[in-house]
Structure 1
Amino acid sequence: MQELVSRIAAETGLTPERALEAVGQILLYIKTEGSDPAIDTMIEETPGANEAIVQAGTTGTQEGGGLFGGGGIMALGSRLMALGLDMGGIGTVSRELVAFARQHAGSDVVDRVIATTPGLSQFA
Protein backbone atom coordinates (compact mmCIF):
# COMPACT_ATOMS: atom_id res chain seq x y z
CA MET A 1 0.00 0.00 0.00
CA GLN A 2 2.89 2.36 0.71
CA GLU A 3 3.97 2.18 -2.95
CA LEU A 4 0.43 3.07 -4.05
CA VAL A 5 0.17 5.94 -1.57
CA SER A 6 3.56 7.33 -2.62
CA ARG A 7 2.58 7.21 -6.29
CA ILE A 8 -0.75 8.94 -5.62
CA ALA A 9 0.93 11.60 -3.47
CA ALA A 10 3.48 12.31 -6.21
CA GLU A 11 0.84 12.50 -8.94
CA THR A 12 -1.74 14.57 -7.06
CA GLY A 13 0.36 16.73 -4.73
CA LEU A 14 -1.42 15.34 -1.66
CA THR A 15 0.54 14.48 1.45
CA PRO A 16 0.98 10.73 1.91
CA GLU A 17 -1.50 10.88 4.82
CA ARG A 18 -4.16 12.51 2.64
CA ALA A 19 -3.42 10.13 -0.23
CA LEU A 20 -3.98 7.19 2.13
CA GLU A 21 -7.21 8.76 3.35
CA ALA A 22 -8.39 9.23 -0.25
CA VAL A 23 -7.75 5.55 -0.96
CA GLY A 24 -9.51 4.62 2.27
CA GLN A 25 -12.52 6.79 1.46
CA ILE A 26 -12.95 5.08 -1.91
CA LEU A 27 -12.59 1.63 -0.36
CA LEU A 28 -15.01 2.54 2.44
CA TYR A 29 -17.51 3.70 -0.19
CA ILE A 30 -17.10 0.43 -2.10
CA LYS A 31 -17.54 -1.60 1.07
CA THR A 32 -20.68 0.26 2.18
CA GLU A 33 -22.36 0.86 -1.19
CA GLY A 34 -21.41 -2.21 -3.20
CA SER A 35 -23.36 -5.44 -3.20
CA ASP A 36 -21.17 -8.11 -4.77
CA PRO A 37 -19.29 -10.64 -2.60
CA ALA A 38 -16.26 -9.88 -4.80
CA ILE A 39 -15.84 -6.72 -2.70
CA ASP A 40 -14.73 -8.74 0.31
CA THR A 41 -12.33 -10.70 -1.88
CA MET A 42 -10.84 -7.52 -3.35
CA ILE A 43 -10.40 -5.91 0.06
CA GLU A 44 -8.86 -9.02 1.61
CA GLU A 45 -6.43 -9.57 -1.27
CA THR A 46 -5.35 -5.94 -1.68
CA PRO A 47 -2.49 -5.24 0.75
CA GLY A 48 -3.32 -2.46 3.20
CA ALA A 49 -6.95 -2.11 2.07
CA ASN A 50 -8.48 -2.98 5.45
CA GLU A 51 -6.13 -0.61 7.23
CA ALA A 52 -6.98 2.21 4.80
CA ILE A 53 -10.70 1.63 5.42
CA VAL A 54 -10.19 1.75 9.17
CA GLN A 55 -8.18 4.97 8.79
CA ALA A 56 -10.90 6.55 6.65
CA GLY A 57 -13.59 5.40 9.07
CA THR A 58 -11.91 7.07 12.04
CA THR A 59 -11.39 10.49 10.48
CA GLY A 60 -15.04 11.48 10.67
CA THR A 61 -15.09 12.72 7.08
CA GLN A 62 -17.37 9.89 6.01
CA GLU A 63 -20.20 11.32 8.11
CA GLY A 64 -22.66 13.55 6.35
CA GLY A 65 -22.64 14.51 2.74
CA GLY A 66 -20.60 17.69 2.74
CA LEU A 67 -21.33 19.99 -0.19
CA PHE A 68 -23.67 17.61 -1.94
CA GLY A 69 -25.71 16.33 1.04
CA GLY A 70 -26.77 12.74 1.61
CA GLY A 71 -24.62 9.77 0.75
CA GLY A 72 -23.66 7.96 -2.39
CA ILE A 73 -21.15 8.85 -5.04
CA MET A 74 -21.71 12.60 -4.70
CA ALA A 75 -20.87 12.48 -1.01
CA LEU A 76 -17.72 10.50 -1.81
CA GLY A 77 -16.75 13.16 -4.32
CA SER A 78 -17.32 15.84 -1.70
CA ARG A 79 -15.13 14.02 0.84
CA LEU A 80 -12.36 13.59 -1.73
CA MET A 81 -12.53 17.26 -2.71
CA ALA A 82 -12.30 18.17 0.97
CA LEU A 83 -8.96 16.35 0.99
CA GLY A 84 -7.72 18.67 -1.75
CA LEU A 85 -8.51 16.70 -4.90
CA ASP A 86 -10.13 18.10 -8.02
CA MET A 87 -11.93 15.86 -10.53
CA GLY A 88 -8.65 15.03 -12.27
CA GLY A 89 -7.08 14.06 -8.95
CA ILE A 90 -10.07 11.91 -8.05
CA GLY A 91 -9.64 10.12 -11.38
CA THR A 92 -5.94 9.62 -10.69
CA VAL A 93 -6.57 8.12 -7.24
CA SER A 94 -9.30 5.88 -8.63
CA ARG A 95 -7.25 4.61 -11.57
CA GLU A 96 -4.19 3.94 -9.40
CA LEU A 97 -6.28 2.12 -6.79
CA VAL A 98 -7.99 -0.01 -9.44
CA ALA A 99 -4.66 -0.93 -11.04
CA PHE A 100 -3.18 -1.81 -7.63
CA ALA A 101 -6.21 -3.93 -6.70
CA ARG A 102 -6.08 -5.72 -10.06
CA GLN A 103 -2.45 -6.68 -9.44
CA HIS A 104 -3.38 -8.36 -6.17
CA ALA A 105 -7.01 -9.49 -6.46
CA GLY A 106 -7.21 -10.05 -10.21
CA SER A 107 -9.06 -8.28 -12.99
CA ASP A 108 -12.19 -10.43 -12.81
CA VAL A 109 -12.74 -9.61 -9.14
CA VAL A 110 -12.07 -5.89 -9.54
CA ASP A 111 -14.21 -5.65 -12.67
CA ARG A 112 -17.14 -7.21 -10.77
CA VAL A 113 -16.65 -4.71 -7.94
CA ILE A 114 -16.65 -1.78 -10.37
CA ALA A 115 -19.70 -3.08 -12.23
CA THR A 116 -21.77 -3.59 -9.08
CA THR A 117 -20.86 -0.51 -7.05
CA PRO A 118 -23.13 2.46 -7.86
CA GLY A 119 -21.35 5.28 -9.69
CA LEU A 120 -17.90 3.73 -9.52
CA SER A 121 -17.50 2.97 -13.21
CA GLN A 122 -17.26 6.67 -14.06
CA PHE A 123 -14.01 6.91 -12.08
CA ALA A 124 -12.40 3.57 -12.88
Structure 2
Amino acid sequence: MQELISRIAAETGLSPEKAMQALGQILLYIKTEGTDPAVETMIDGTPGANEAIIEAGNADADASGLGGMFGGGGGIMALGSRLMSLGLDMDGIQAVARELVSHARRNAGDETVDRVIQTTPGLSQFA
Protein backbone atom coordinates (compact mmCIF):
# COMPACT_ATOMS: atom_id res chain seq x y z
CA MET A 1 0.00 0.00 0.00
CA GLN A 2 2.89 2.36 0.73
CA GLU A 3 4.00 2.22 -2.91
CA LEU A 4 0.45 3.07 -4.01
CA ILE A 5 0.26 6.00 -1.60
CA SER A 6 3.63 7.29 -2.83
CA ARG A 7 2.47 7.12 -6.47
CA ILE A 8 -0.74 8.97 -5.66
CA ALA A 9 1.10 11.62 -3.64
CA ALA A 10 3.58 12.16 -6.48
CA GLU A 11 0.87 12.34 -9.16
CA THR A 12 -1.55 14.58 -7.25
CA GLY A 13 0.71 16.66 -5.03
CA LEU A 14 -1.10 15.44 -1.91
CA SER A 15 0.81 14.60 1.24
CA PRO A 16 1.07 10.84 1.86
CA GLU A 17 -1.44 11.24 4.71
CA LYS A 18 -3.99 12.93 2.46
CA ALA A 19 -3.33 10.38 -0.31
CA MET A 20 -4.19 7.63 2.21
CA GLN A 21 -7.33 9.54 3.23
CA ALA A 22 -8.39 9.86 -0.42
CA LEU A 23 -7.90 6.13 -0.99
CA GLY A 24 -9.84 5.37 2.16
CA GLN A 25 -12.72 7.65 1.17
CA ILE A 26 -13.08 5.93 -2.21
CA LEU A 27 -12.86 2.47 -0.66
CA LEU A 28 -15.34 3.41 2.06
CA TYR A 29 -17.73 4.64 -0.62
CA ILE A 30 -17.32 1.39 -2.57
CA LYS A 31 -17.92 -0.67 0.56
CA THR A 32 -20.99 1.37 1.52
CA GLU A 33 -22.59 1.80 -1.91
CA GLY A 34 -21.42 -1.29 -3.82
CA THR A 35 -24.11 -3.89 -4.40
CA ASP A 36 -22.11 -6.90 -5.58
CA PRO A 37 -20.34 -9.48 -3.41
CA ALA A 38 -17.27 -8.69 -5.53
CA VAL A 39 -16.85 -5.57 -3.36
CA GLU A 40 -15.79 -7.64 -0.35
CA THR A 41 -13.63 -9.85 -2.58
CA MET A 42 -11.83 -6.79 -3.94
CA ILE A 43 -11.38 -5.17 -0.55
CA ASP A 44 -10.18 -8.39 1.08
CA GLY A 45 -7.83 -9.07 -1.85
CA THR A 46 -6.28 -5.60 -1.92
CA PRO A 47 -3.50 -5.16 0.64
CA GLY A 48 -4.11 -2.17 2.90
CA ALA A 49 -7.70 -1.60 1.76
CA ASN A 50 -9.35 -2.47 5.07
CA GLU A 51 -6.91 -0.26 6.98
CA ALA A 52 -7.61 2.66 4.62
CA ILE A 53 -11.36 2.17 5.11
CA ILE A 54 -10.99 2.19 8.89
CA GLU A 55 -8.93 5.39 8.77
CA ALA A 56 -11.46 7.05 6.45
CA GLY A 57 -14.32 6.06 8.75
CA ASN A 58 -12.45 7.47 11.73
CA ALA A 59 -11.78 10.73 9.85
CA ASP A 60 -15.49 11.00 8.98
CA ALA A 61 -16.40 10.41 12.63
CA ASP A 62 -13.96 13.08 13.80
CA ALA A 63 -15.20 15.56 11.20
CA SER A 64 -18.89 14.96 11.80
CA GLY A 65 -18.84 14.45 15.54
CA LEU A 66 -21.38 11.69 15.01
CA GLY A 67 -19.14 8.74 15.71
CA GLY A 68 -19.14 7.67 12.08
CA MET A 69 -22.87 7.04 12.17
CA PHE A 70 -23.21 7.88 8.50
CA GLY A 71 -20.02 6.15 7.37
CA GLY A 72 -19.28 6.66 3.68
CA GLY A 73 -22.87 7.51 2.78
CA GLY A 74 -24.19 10.51 0.94
CA GLY A 75 -23.72 9.21 -2.56
CA ILE A 76 -21.20 10.05 -5.22
CA MET A 77 -21.59 13.81 -4.77
CA ALA A 78 -20.67 13.54 -1.08
CA LEU A 79 -17.64 11.44 -2.03
CA GLY A 80 -16.58 14.11 -4.51
CA SER A 81 -16.96 16.78 -1.84
CA ARG A 82 -14.88 14.81 0.65
CA LEU A 83 -12.15 14.29 -1.94
CA MET A 84 -12.17 17.95 -2.95
CA SER A 85 -11.85 18.92 0.72
CA LEU A 86 -8.55 17.01 0.72
CA GLY A 87 -7.33 19.30 -2.07
CA LEU A 88 -8.18 17.24 -5.14
CA ASP A 89 -9.74 18.57 -8.33
CA MET A 90 -11.50 16.29 -10.84
CA ASP A 91 -8.19 15.33 -12.49
CA GLY A 92 -6.75 14.47 -9.09
CA ILE A 93 -9.79 12.40 -8.15
CA GLN A 94 -9.50 10.48 -11.40
CA ALA A 95 -5.77 9.94 -10.81
CA VAL A 96 -6.45 8.47 -7.35
CA ALA A 97 -9.22 6.26 -8.75
CA ARG A 98 -7.02 5.04 -11.64
CA GLU A 99 -4.18 4.15 -9.28
CA LEU A 100 -6.55 2.37 -6.90
CA VAL A 101 -8.19 0.42 -9.73
CA SER A 102 -4.80 -0.59 -11.11
CA HIS A 103 -3.61 -1.71 -7.66
CA ALA A 104 -6.84 -3.63 -7.02
CA ARG A 105 -6.66 -5.33 -10.44
CA ARG A 106 -3.14 -6.58 -9.69
CA ASN A 107 -4.28 -7.99 -6.36
CA ALA A 108 -7.94 -8.97 -6.66
CA GLY A 109 -8.16 -9.59 -10.42
CA ASP A 110 -9.70 -7.87 -13.42
CA GLU A 111 -13.06 -9.63 -13.29
CA THR A 112 -13.64 -8.74 -9.64
CA VAL A 113 -12.69 -5.09 -10.10
CA ASP A 114 -14.80 -4.78 -13.27
CA ARG A 115 -17.82 -6.10 -11.36
CA VAL A 116 -17.22 -3.59 -8.57
CA ILE A 117 -16.98 -0.69 -11.03
CA GLN A 118 -20.13 -1.80 -12.87
CA THR A 119 -22.24 -2.25 -9.74
CA THR A 120 -21.17 0.71 -7.61
CA PRO A 121 -23.28 3.79 -8.43
CA GLY A 122 -21.31 6.58 -10.09
CA LEU A 123 -17.93 4.87 -9.77
CA SER A 124 -17.38 4.40 -13.48
CA GLN A 125 -17.10 8.16 -14.00
CA PHE A 126 -14.01 8.22 -11.77
CA ALA A 127 -12.40 4.87 -12.60
TM range (shorter): over 0.9
Give the CA RMSD over aligned residues: 1.5
The answer for the alignment partner of 1:59 in structure 2 is 59
Of 67, 80, 84, which residue of structure 2 is paired with 1:81? 84
Give the aligned residue type for 1:93: V
Q: Report the Cα distance in structure 1 between the residues aligned to 2:19 and 2:43, rounded to whole angstroms.
A: 18
List per-residue Cα deviations over 1:28-54 (Å, max 9, x = no partner).
Answer: 000000110000000000000000000
CA distance in 2, matches of 1:3, 1:40: 22
- How far apart, in 2, do the equivalents of 1:45 and 1:88 lie? 27
Name the structure 1 match of 2:107: 104
1:1-124 to 2 correspondences below 5 Å: 1-60=1-60, 71-124=74-127
Per-residue Cα deviation, 1:64-116 (whole angstroms, up to 9, x for no partner):
9xxxxx81000000000000000000000000000000000000000000000
- Structure 1: give runs of 5+ residues left out of the alignment: 65-69
TM-score (norm 1): 0.92
Structure 2: give runs of 5+ residues left out of the alignment: 67-72
How many residues align? The count is: 119
SS of aligned partner of 1:36: coil
In 2, Cα distance between equivalents of 1:101 and 1:6: 16
TM-score, L = length of structure 2: 0.90
- Equivalent position SS for 2:80: helix
User: Which one-letter code corresponds to 2:11 in the other structure?
Assistant: E
Q: State how far apart, in whole Å, the 2-side matches of 1:48 and 1:26 are.
A: 13
Instruction: State the identity %.
Output: 72
